[in-house]
Amino acid sequence: MDAILSILIFFPAIAGFVGFGIKQSSAKIYGIAIATIELLLALVLWMKFDNTNAGMQFTEQVSLISDFGISYNVGVDGISLFIVIMAALITLLGIILLRPDTKNMKNMIISLLFLEMTMVGVFLTLDAIIFYLFWELSLVPMLYIIGAWGGADRVYAAVKFFLYTFAGSLIMLVGLLSMAYLYHEANGVWSFALLDWYTLPLTENQQFWLFLSFFAGFAIKVPMFPFHTWLPWAHGQAPTIGSVILAAVLLKMGTYGFVRFSLPILPDASVTFTPFMMTLALIMVIYTAMIAFAQKDMKQVIAYSSVSHMGIIMLGVFAMNAEGLGGSVFLMLSHGIVSGALFMLVGVIYERTGTKIMDEFGGLAAVMPIYATVFGLMLMASVGLPLTIGFVGEFLVLVGFYAVSPIGTILAGTTIIIGSIYMLNLFKKSFFGPVRHEKNLALKDLDNRELSALIPLVLIVVWLGVYPKPVLGPIDNSAKYILTQMEARAISPATKEAIILSKKEAN
């Protein structure tokens, strides 16, 4: 299976095309089957993955536009491997959780399969233009999912989501094109291949501007403060499946972009911008956590808490050491699993009651004990309770970040406190106390469909919380590899110092 990465990328899309011919009534089971195959393929990739190799594996290259240096070029390393597996898993569970009576089920399944192609493609591709291609293409199915199955303001939210990201990525495109130009100036040939770009020396001034242009694309996607305003809208209006995939996978594209593009290509600028990025990330962490506390809508609480945790990921990425970077990649996974699960859980109660306002509930723990247990567990994982998946990443990031700024770490650490406040507040209001509405007494607990979507996530939360090594090992390897590369390429001594310093601690 030499072409396993291409199969992983294009299988869902081809299946999506074939899906046009499937009857409406069998659409869901078709989706489940395809997503299962995709997940199995991703797991096969993991089995064949060489844990000792920190570089790119399973690489494939096909030249597409040779005069302009664009080629189809894919590869996987420890960082992308697990994000791809997570994307496949979340897509599968999301499809399982779809209500059988969803209108236009076939269109939903087809869009999800196309979305899966673009998600897997973004994380596996090693060519800047093909990356951009999947990056932009991912907006289209999401636009449709939010716009067609969302809430009352769905069209506004969908268009806002699309345009915001589109505008940012066009600025990023200018950066990519300048990068290719600089490469052409230096080597006389055009290339958009990331592995080529990693070898290109750039002056600090060039790095500065390139960093800003990449920042425009990635920061909007993450979304970093102050570009986060599209996200609450998107989450507020999106259907459950939309929110799940948006929070679990699409936001990771932004942080992944920083890890794959900004850090290794622009090491000096990354260090120069570290204070700026950290300030933004800290504001994002604390400010959105406070907003989360002020929300009445359960889904908005989770949406803002998800942004807040994305801030911690950003802190880790720019900590410039192995703990920080590795921890933030791990946190991307755990954030995907946990926030995906939380959005699923909100979707479950919304389907039953038609509301997401916390004050409407109360006492659900007695009515729906299993639901309350799963919710409680995910909530703890989100807050970062030890022995859950959330703890590992968050802890590593904070450890890594401590080497850079102890005060910042204390500030970032408050998010755990604020996080527990708003999360426990949510839990208290919804699950304890008296049942506020009579009709809520008759609510059914989780049924088989919902359980089969949620149990795997529960198991992963506990498993990786207790024993993260199988995942953390390869991530750590690749993170160290990226840092070594950065250090080797850095031109200013200050940069080298910023990176080496933390590497010593890593050993």
144 binds another protein (CB under 8 A): yes
Helix (H, G, I), strand (E, B) or coil at 430: helix
Burial class (CB in 10 A: 0-12, 13-18, 19+), 6: middle
Query: Residue 227, interface with another protein (CB under 8 A)?
Result: no
The piece of 36-44, 79-87, 138-146, 347-355 that touches another protein (CB under 8 A) is 138-146
Interface residue with another protein, options 154, 235, 260, 309 (CB under 8 A): 154
Asked if residue 142 binds another protein (CB under 8 A), the reply is no
Query: How far apart, in Å, do the first and last CA atoms of the chain sit?
Result: 36
Rule CB under 8 A: say whether 200 interacts with another protein: no
Nearest to 133 by CA among 53, 179, 72, 65: 72
**DSSP assigned state of 362:** -
Q: Which of 35, 180, 322, 358 binds another protein (CB under 8 A)?
A: 180
Q: Can residue 51 be called a binding residue for another protein (CB under 8 A)?
A: no
Q: Under the criterion CB under 8 A, does residue 65 sit at the interface with another protein?
A: yes
Q: How far apart are alpha carbons 75 and 194 in whole angstroms?
A: 11
Min dist. Cβ of residue 32 to another protein (A)? 22
195 binds another protein (CB under 8 A): no
β-pairing, 70-76 with 57-65?
A: antiparallel
Q: What is the DSSP letter of 442?
A: G
Beta bridge mates, 63: 71
- DSSP-based three-state secondary structure for 244: helix
* Region binding another protein by CB under 8 A among candidate stretches 84-92, 93-101, 134-142, 429-437: 134-142
Of 133 and 424, CB closest to another protein: 133
Question: Which residue type, as a one-letter code, is found at position 165?
Answer: T
Figure out which of the listed residues 59, 178, 199, 405 binds another protein, where binding follows CB under 8 A: 178
Residues 79 and 58: their CA atoms lie apart, in Å, by: 14
The one among 7, 44, 159, 462 contacting another protein by CB under 8 A: 159
Q: DSSP letters along 139-172, please?
A: HHHHHHHHHHHS-TTHHHHHHHHHHHHHHHHHHH
CA distance 64 to 453: 40
Between 265 and 380, name the residue whose CB sits nearer to another protein. 265
326 closest CA partner among 479, 188, 187: 479
Return the range that interacts with another protein (CB under 8 A); candidates 174-182, 272-280, 462-470, 481-489.
Answer: 174-182
Q: Which of the ranges 3-11, 65-73, 326-334, 456-464 carries the binding residues for another protein, by CB under 8 A?
A: 65-73
- Identify which of residues 154 and 228 has a Cβ nearer to another protein in the complex: 154
Residue among 364, 376, 371 nearest 347 (CA): 371
Report residue 402 CA to chain centroid gap.
24
Cβ closest to another protein, residue 189 vs residue 455: 189
Q: Tell me if 133 contacts another protein by CB under 8 A.
A: yes
Q: Contacting another protein (CB under 8 A), which of 27, 89, 109, 139?
A: 139
Task: Classify burial at 458, counting beta carbons within 10 Å of its beta carbon; exposed 0-12, middle 13-18, buried 19 or more.
Answer: middle
Q: Does 136 bind another protein (CB under 8 A)?
A: yes
CA distance 256 to 78: 12
Nearest distance, CB of residue 179 and another protein, angstroms: 9
Give 37 or 174: the residue with its C-beta nearer to another protein. 174
Question: Cβ 233 to another protein, closest distance in Å?
Answer: 15
Whole-number minimum distance, CB 134 to another protein, in Å?
8
Judged by beta carbon, residue 136 or residue 445, the one nearer another protein is 136
Instruction: Please choose, from the candidates 192, 171, 169, 168, the residue with its C-alpha nearest in 3D space to the C-alpha of residue 182.
Output: 192
The contact set with another protein (CB under 8 A) reads 64-68, 104, 107, 129, 132-133, 136-137, 139-140, 143-144, 147-148, 154-155, 158-159, 162-163, 166-167, 170-171, 173-174, 177-178, 180-181, 184, 209
